[in-house]
Amino acid sequence: MGDFNMPARKIIIDTDPGQDDAVAILLALGSPKDIEILGITAVAGNVPLALTQKNARMVCELAGRPDIKVYAGSKHPLAHRLVTAEHVHGKTGLDGPTLPDPTMPLQDQHAVDFIIETLRNHPAGTVTLCPLGPLTNIASAFNQAPDIIEKVQEIVLMGGAYFEVGNITPAAEFNIYVDPEAAEIVFKAGAPITVMPLDVTHKALVTKSRNDAFRDLGTPVGIAVAEMTDFFERFDKEKYGTAGAPLHDPTVIAYLLNPKLFTGRFINVEIETKSTLTRGMTVADWWRVTDREPNAMFMGDIDADGFFELLTNRLANL
């Protein structure tokens, strides 16, 4: 957790809300001593861009933070048609709670230009990128302005899988599957990467008691998070037969707040972009059976009770 002497960590959240993205944004906003959100950049993913940028603003206003700058980014992946996930997140992408349409403005600047400008205007090693959706915006920024890559403090992303393999196909996790070319660019760029794969998020299940703890906060935020979970858990509980749905994206923010909640390995991770059968697979050399250069801290385990305690405590701040 934040050291009182340490300045808040500056981050850009790149996101495709998505109920779990929304909870990640709320966790960051509930941790102002530890995290300074320089901006939120929306990308097409769970639902089209017109909805992800709107949902991001609705979540900021739910948290009482209409001052947060939200930018719209890429409408579609680099090389494929957009694949969305309304079957999980509902047609709005934020089904569950009834939230008012946003009144805060969407920034005029394109998200990719904001990412480039922000990294150029901050000292090297002081801005962390937190992608929670397809990596289209990040890869586009790296393609347009390769000079910014060495400026990145760390990329902490939700995506991929090794032991859990796939959730949108038998081989691939959704964020990587939607834009595997973008993921390949990001994983080969050379910036420090920490990965929260399904191997971790499938151990972060929102059981009834954990969701009741959100609801029992009795605040608009706590009740809305519980209602989001009530909606999106129906699909995953049916699919996996588990006691709750995996809460994917907040693990990225929790890592920034308390990395000790996670364990993993620094290994080589490469992205399948050629095969139609296994497109988007993260080929993670977990057992180090190749001599491929390690390029990512790939997480494998989580202290789930510690994660939900942190999350609930921080949501209580909103």
Residues 232-271 interacting with ligand RIB (rule: CB under 6 A): 248-249
Q: 102's torsion region: left (phi>0), alpha (psi -120 to 50) or beta?
A: beta
Measured torsion, CA atoms of residues 242, 276, 183, 198, in degrees rounded to the nearest 10: 10
* From 77, 93, 97, 133, residue interacting with Ca ion (rule: CB under 5 A): 133
From 76, 89, 202, 248, active-site residue:
248
Q: Is residue 181 part of the contact set for ligand RIB (CB under 6 A)?
A: no
CB of 162 to ligand RIB, least distance (A): 14
Of 13 and 267, which has the nearer Cβ to Ca ion? 13
Q: Using CB under 5 A, which residues numbered 155 to 214 contact Ca ion?
A: none
Position 173 contacts ligand RIB (CB under 6 A): yes
Total residues at interface with ligand RIB (CB under 6 A) = 15
Per DSSP, the residues of 271-295 read: E--S-SSSTT-EEE-TT--S-PPP-
Q: Write out the E strands in 202-295.
A: 205-206, 245-246, 262-267, 269-271, 282-284
| Phi, psi of 209, rounded to the nearest 5 degrees | -65, -35
CB of 136 to ligand RIB, least distance (A): 12
Any contact of residue 20 with ligand RIB (CB under 6 A)? Answer: yes
- Minimum distance between the CB of residue 7 and ligand RIB, rounded to whole angstroms? 28
Residue 167 interacts, among ligand RIB, Ca ion, none and using kind-specific CB cut-offs from 5 to 8 Å, with ligand RIB
Give the shortest CB-291-to-ligand RIB separation in angstroms.
30
Is 132 one of the binding residues for ligand RIB (CB under 6 A)? yes
CB of 289 to ligand RIB, least distance (A): 26
Q: Could you give the CA distance from residue 138 to residue 14 in angstroms, rounded to a whole number?
A: 8
Q: How many residues sit close enough to Ca ion to count as binding (CB under 5 A)?
A: 6
Cβ neighbours of 259 (radius 10 Å): 14
Q: Does 162 bind ligand RIB (CB under 6 A)?
A: no
Q: Is 248 a catalytic residue?
A: yes
Residues 229-288 that bind Ca ion (CB under 5 A): 249
Among 13, 14, 18, 44, binds ligand RIB (CB under 6 A): 18
* CB-CB contact of 205 with 302 (8 Å): no
Token pair in block for residue 139? 């890869």
List 137, 167, 211, 251, residue binding ligand RIB (CB under 6 A): 167
Instruction: List strand residue ranges (DSSP E) for 114-217, in order.
Output: 127-131, 152-158, 193-196, 205-206
Q: Judged by CB under 6 A, which stretch of 17-25, 99-107, 108-116, 216-224 contacts ligand RIB?
A: 17-25
| Residue 301, both tokens | 């385990």
Choose among 278, 202, 288: nearest CA to 241.
202
DSSP string, 78-104: SSS-----HHHH-SSSS-SS--PPP-S
Q: Contact residues for Ca ion (CB under 5 A)?
A: 16, 18, 21, 132-133, 249
Q: Contact residues for ligand RIB (CB under 6 A)?
A: 16, 18, 20-21, 45-46, 132-133, 158, 167, 173-175, 248-249
Catalytic annotation, residues: 248
